[in-house]
A and B are shown apart, each in its own frame.
Chain A
Amino acid sequence: MQAELPAGYAGKILRVDLSQNRTWTEPWTAEMSRTCIGGVGLGIKILWDEVPAEVGWDHEDNRLVLATGPLAGLPAWGTGGLTVVTRGAMTNGATNTQANGFFGANLKYSGYDAIVLQGRAPEWVYLYIRDDTVELRDASTLLGKDTWETQEALEQMLDLTGHQLSVYTSGVAGENQVRFAAVHGDYGHVASKNGCGAVMGNKRVKAVAIVRGSKALRAADPRGLWMAAQEIAEDLQHDPSTRSLYEYGTLPGVSGLSRLGALPIKNYTTNVVPEGVDMTQWTAQGLREGFDHRGHQCNSCGMHHCHAQVLPSGPHQGAIVDEPEYEGWSGAGWAFGCTDPVATSWLNTQVDRACVDVNEFGWLVGWVIECQEKGYITREQLGGLTITWGDAEAANALLQMTIRREGFGNVLAEGVKRASETVGGPAAECAIYALTGNTPRGHDHRARWEEMLDTCTGSGGTLDSGPPVLPTEMGQPARINPFDPDAVARMVGGTRGRRQFEDSLGTCIFTTRALLSTLCRTLSAATGWDFTKDEALLFGRRTAALMRAFNIRCGITPDLERPSKRYGSVPVDGPAQGQDIGVHWEHLLDVWYDTVGYDRQTGKPLPATLEDLGLSHIVADLWDAQEATHAGT
C-alpha cells in the first residue's frame, strides 16, 4: 500500500503540453515529496529526467517549471513563493530563481504544487487556472503589453481584482526572447535570473493567470506550525541581524555597501561616492521616508519589506512605482552612475514592466555608457542616442530598444557578455559578467570575494550559496577575513546547501532568515515529518550536486568558472583598493572544489560525493567505470 502524501502539499503537479494543447495532472508520491520537497528540489529532478543535453534553452522540449513548496499557502510569513527552474538562456544550463507575491498560495489553493510547461504553443496563449479549470487561452490581445499592463488587462478580462488573481508574465522582453528576460508578477515580484522569461516567451506563453483557488490546505500539526512560524517572526523582529530586514527590507544595502567598497559605481570604474551626493537620502530611512509609501506585502507576510511608493518630484512626479530592492537601487542606479533616488526608483519600475533582470540591465547600461564615452560605441550605432553617466531617461530609451530588439538593441538584447563579444576590441574588456553567463548581483564583488566565487561556480544562473546566514549553525565561523582566499572558499563551499533547501519550501528567503533547526521544525509541523538540520543540508547539497551534474551534461565546464576581465579587475580606489582576486583565483577554486567534494579537473561531483548525497544512481551518467575508480584519488 502506498504511503499517504504528507500534509502541506496540494498533492498534484500540473503538466501542460503547449504543442498539443493538453493538460493533465500527476500525483506526488510520499517518497518523492521527501526527497524533492518542492521548488528547486522538484524542478531539478524534472530537468535531469526530462531535458537531455541536446535540448537547449530554446528547444521546445525544454521544461519551464513553476514550483511552490510545502509551506506555500500556510500561515507562516512570506509563503506565496514561486521558484522557476528551467534550462536558461544566459548559461544554457540550470536555473534556480525566485519570486514571491501570491503565486504559490493561489496555485496551491487551486490544488497544484507546481506547473510544468513543455512544448511550444502554435499561437500566443496564456494559461488560466481556476481550481480544476485549466485552459490555454488566446493571448493575442495581450501582446505588446508590459507586465503591469498584462496583469491589469487580465484583471479586467476576468473581472477579478486584488489578490484574487496572480499573474506572472515575461512582458515584452519575453515576447522578443531577450536573453535576460525575467518572469514578473503581482506588481513588482521578479524571478529574474538566467533568462527564464526568454524560455517562457520561446514557448509562446504570454502569462500564467491563477485565480485564488478554493481548496483547503492542512498542516499535520497546526499548533506546532503556528508556534514555529511565530518563533521565526519573533526572531525576524528582534534579532540584531534581521531587525533591519524586518523594518526596511533590503534598503540599508546602499549606505552599508558604499562603506565597504562593495557598491558598484559606474561600471566598476570607481568605488568612491561622487562628491556632492547626499548619502543621508540613501540610508534605509531616507529611501523609505523620501517617498509617500504604503506596504505591499506578499502572502501572509508581516514584514515591512515590500512597499509601493509615489514619485515626489521630477518628470514622472506622482507616478506609483514599486519600491526598489537593494538590487534595483544598484542596477537601475549606481551601476551606471545614477545617484538620484527618484530617477532610480522610476527606472527600476520601468525595468520591471519591461521584464528584464535589473542586475544584467545595470551592467549593460554601464558598459554602453563607458563604451560611448571612450568611443567604442558611437551615437550612430545607438540610433542617435547619447547616454552619459547617471542619465535615467536615456537608460530607459536603451531599455525600450533592447526589449524590442530595435537597431543596436538587437545586440544588447543578448546581454552584456555576448554584446561585448560582438562589439569586440577594447569594448570587450569593459563588460561585467561571469564566463558561464551567470549575471553577477548588484555589488562590486571585488570587495566581496565570496560572492564572486559563488557567482562563477554557481550552477543555477546566480549565487548557489548566497550570503552566509547564521553560518555558525553550519559549523562555519561567524565572520572571516573577506580577502583571505582559503577562508572565503571554505565559507562558500561550507555553507552550500542551505539556499537550495530554502528555495524548495515555497517561501521567501527574507522570511527564512532563521536557524535551520527552526525552519526544519516548521517543515515538520506542516508535513508530519521529523525533518532535521542534517537532512536539510543533505537535501540542499544533493540538489546543488544535481544542478551541477545537469550543467556538466549541458557542456558547462570548469574552464568557464572565472570572472570577465573587468569583473575580476583590481579596484583603483575606495576601501578595497588594490585587492586583487585574480592572483588567488586558481587557489580559490582548488579549496572550493575540495570543500564541496567535486572534481577539480572535470567539475563533476566525485563518485563518493554522489554516493554520500544519495545520488549513486547518476554516477554512471557522469563517470565511466574506469574514471570513477580513479576519481578523487
Chain B
Amino acid sequence: MPEPDAPQNTAAIDAGELEIEVVAWITKFVGGDGSTRKVFHLPLRADDTVRKVLRRLSGRFPQLHKALWDSVTGDLAEHIEVLVNDTVLDLTHNLDSPIGSSDRIALIGQYLGG
C-alpha cells in the first residue's frame, strides 16, 4: 500500500523544498496527460533520502506507487528511471543517499524500443 503523507506538524523539519520533475509519459501516473512535464516541490525533512522523498510523492499517487516500486521487494521496479541532478541513480546517489534542497530529481519512463 502507498505510504500516506506524514502530517506536516510531526517529524517534518523545515529544510527547504526539493524539486521533483515528472517527465512526459510518467505524468499519466500523477494526474497529467502523458505529455510535457509536471513539477512538484516537496517540503524536505532533515533526514530525507532519495527513497523517502520518492515514497512521499508516490504515497499521493497510487498509480505512480504501483509503477515505481516492486510490490514484492519494496525496491525500485524497472518501469521508471530515476535521475538525481540529471544523473542516473547509483552514480552520485543511491536510494538511501541524503538529499537536499539544492538537488533535483526527475522521473522518466523506461526505454521500450526495438
Residues of A within 8 A of B (CB): 240-245, 247-248, 250, 252-253, 255-257, 259-260, 262, 280, 283-286, 325-327, 441, 443, 466-468, 470-472, 478-484, 509-510, 513, 575
User: Are the C-beta atoms of A575 and B112 separated by less than 8 Å?
Assistant: no
Q: Report the Cα distance A482→B90, complex, angstroms.
A: 8
Residues of chain B with a CB closer than 8 A to A509's CB: 114
From A240, A472, A484, give the contact of B29 (CB < 8 A).
A240
Residues of chain A with a CB closer than 8 A to B97's CB: none
From A284, A441, A468, A484, give the contact of B78 (CB < 8 A).
A468
User: Are the C-beta atoms of A479 and B25 separated by less than 8 Å?
Assistant: no
Q: A241-B79, A482-B88 are in contact. List 16 more A-B contacts (CB 8 A).
A: A240-B29, A240-B63, A244-B34, A244-B112, A252-B25, A252-B112, A253-B111, A255-B24, A259-B81, A260-B81, A285-B33, A286-B35, A478-B70, A478-B73, A481-B91, A575-B87
Name which of B7-15, B41-49, B102-110 contacts chain A. Answer: B102-110
From B28, B63, B67, B108, give the contact of A259 (CB < 8 A).
B108
User: Are the C-beta atoms of B83 and A479 separated by less than 8 Å?
Assistant: no
Could you tell me how many residues of chain B have their Cβ less than 8 Å away from some Cβ of chain A? 36
Please name the residue on chain A nearest to B63 by beta carbon.
A240
Interface of A is mostly: loop
User: Are the C-beta atoms of B70 and A256 separated by less than 8 Å?
Assistant: no
Residues of chain A with a CB closer than 8 A to B67's CB: 240-241
User: Are the C-beta atoms of A479 and B24 separated by less than 8 Å?
Assistant: no
User: Are the C-beta atoms of B23 and A256 separated by less than 8 Å?
Assistant: yes
User: Are the C-beta atoms of B78 and A252 separated by less than 8 Å?
Assistant: no
User: Are the C-beta atoms of B34 and A285 separated by less than 8 Å?
Assistant: yes
From A255, A467, A471, give the contact of B113 (CB < 8 A).
A467
Please name the residue on chain B nearest to A284 by beta carbon.
B25
Q: Report the Cα distance A253→B23, complex, angstroms.
A: 12
From A247, A256, A327, A470, give the contact of B81 (CB < 8 A).
A256
User: Are the C-beta atoms of B78 and A327 separated by less than 8 Å?
Assistant: no
From B75, B86, B106, B114, give the contact of A478 (CB < 8 A).
B75
From A241, A260, A443, A484, give the contact of B112 (CB < 8 A).
A241
Please name the residue on chain A nearest to B67 by beta carbon.
A240
User: Are the C-beta atoms of B78 and A241 separated by less than 8 Å?
Assistant: yes
- Least Cβ–Cβ distance between A193 and chain B, in angstroms: 11
Q: Report the Cα distance A247→B34, complex, angstroms.
A: 10
From A240, A259, A468, give the contact of B106 (CB < 8 A).
A259
- Known contacts: A327-B114, A484-B90, A575-B87. The answer to whether A285 contacts B35 by CB under 8 A is yes
User: Are the C-beta atoms of A253 and B113 separated by less than 8 Å?
Assistant: yes
- 30 A-B residue pairs with Cβ-Cβ distance under 8 Å, sorted by A, are A240-B63, A241-B78, A241-B79, A244-B109, A244-B112, A250-B113, A252-B112, A253-B111, A256-B23, A256-B24, A256-B81, A256-B109, A256-B111, A259-B23, A259-B86, A260-B108, A260-B111, A283-B24, A283-B34, A284-B25, A285-B33, A285-B35, A326-B113, A326-B114, A327-B113, A467-B113, A478-B73, A481-B88, A510-B112, A513-B112
Q: Report the Cα distance A93→B60, complex, angstroms.
A: 53
Q: Report the Cα distance A480→B90, complex, angstroms.
A: 8
Q: Report the Cα distance A250→B77, complex, angstroms.
A: 20
Residues of chain B with a CB closer than 8 A to A471's CB: 78
Q: Report the Cα distance A495→B29, complex, angstroms.
A: 29
User: Are the C-beta atoms of A259 and B35 separated by less than 8 Å?
Assistant: no
Please name the residue on chain A nearest to B27 by beta carbon.
A283
